[in-house]
Chains A and B, each alone.
Chain A
Amino acid sequence: MASKVHQVTVWARGVVQDKEGRDIANGLARAAGQEGKFTQSFDNYVDLPDRVNVPLRKYARISDEEIEERYEYENLHPEVVIVADATIVKGIDVLRGMEKGGTLVVATDRRPEDILKFIPNRDLLGKIVCVDAKAICGDRTVDFSGSEGGVDSVGIGQGISAPILGALARGSELVKLDHLDAVVKNKDALHKGHEQAVVKTLN
């Protein structure tokens, strides 16, 4: 029997956070790949072409064995959900398809309790991680470099994706900080995100 494929879904805002969302998915997949795991990371075909501020999805998959479902282009049962802009939790059911005991990572300056009150199906969560990514490295659109298959001249993890990946390493066993360190460019923000992340265990 094939081992479990760990599905990770990233929610971000269209255009303004397009690169950040992609960096989270790509950075996670590459860091896990350094551990010798099999990975995939890709955009959501349905959301493209995105418009400014639309909620959009990026996906990553991590497995100990080769991932067989090559042509399934949506994560139907995410284990970890990352929300790069906190206001998305209000308007979208981000935990759709999640099995009980999943992890939610939110980039926000609010406390975990303030985010949880906007999520009606919060009993699915096993852990919530909040990190104030904008305070760590500023709210800036890094670049459109690398979008839609273009050459990424900026590199992975220059913006708010770095502290979010650091927070993910703190709240989840999927990826280790050492492996992220080799992939992410803004290493200072990565470590700050790892230290400053607020983890709350539920259930």
Chain B
Amino acid sequence: MFKIPKGKEVPLGCVTPAPVGEQPMMITGNWREFRPLLEPEKCDLCMNCIVFCPDACFQLDDAEEKVVLNEKYCKGCNICINECAPGALTAAYELDFDDGVVRLDKPF
């Protein structure tokens, strides 16, 4: 009888281990063509970006009173740029930056 070692059991179909903070099995940062670029002096902390981001990429840094973007999961939908009330976010072409994208071997 074939025995599966404990802790190595195959999960049920479509079930992935519950992420504690981030989901490392679904990194979507390389879907991005344009990234949102924040101008801190224009930002009035209305937090529209935090509410509207479908991937919860924006987080409020309480200590420094600013919003920070998690580029690992931002897929460049640019909804935040549409919703930003003071217009502090602008779209920037991804090839203008040297970093910020997680380079994956396979698409998924």
A92 with B103, Cβ < 8 A, contacts A53-B75, A87-B32 known: yes
Which A residues touch B75, using CB under 8 A?
A: 53
With a cutoff of 8 Å between Cβ atoms, the chain A residues found around residue B76 in the complex are: 53
Complex Cα spacing A114 to B95, Å: 8
What's the nearest-Cβ distance from chain B to residue A71, in Å? 21
A91-B29, A91-B30 known; A118 vs B104 contact (CB < 8 Å): no
| A interface size (C-beta, 8 A) | 24
Query: Is A108's beta carbon under 8 Å from chain B?
Result: yes
Give the residue of A55, A93, A114 whose beta carbon is less than 8 angstroms from that of B31: A55
Chain B residues, CB < 8 A from A92:
30, 103-107
A54 nearest in chain B by CB position = B31
Complex: chain B residue closest to A93, CB-CB: B105
Set of chain B residues within 8 Å of A189, measured between Cβ atoms: none
A91 lies within 8 A of B105 (CB)? no
CB distance from B73 to the nearest CB of A (A): 12
Q: A53-B76, A87-B32 are in contact. Are A93 and B95 (CB under 8 A)?
A: no
- A93 & B103 in contact (Cβ 8 Å cutoff): yes
Q: Decide if A110 touches B104 in the complex (CB within 8 Å).
A: no
Which residues on the B side are within 8 Å of A46 (C-beta)? Answer: 107-108
A-B contact pairs, 12 of them (CB 8 A): A46-B107, A47-B107, A53-B32, A53-B33, A54-B31, A55-B30, A88-B30, A90-B94, A90-B95, A93-B105, A96-B105, A117-B98
Residues of A in contact with B (beta carbons under 8 Å apart): 13, 46-47, 53-57, 85-88, 90-93, 96, 108, 110, 114-115, 117-118, 120
Name 4 extra pairs, CB < 8 A, besides A87-B95, A114-B95, A120-B103: A55-B107, A88-B30, A92-B104, A92-B106
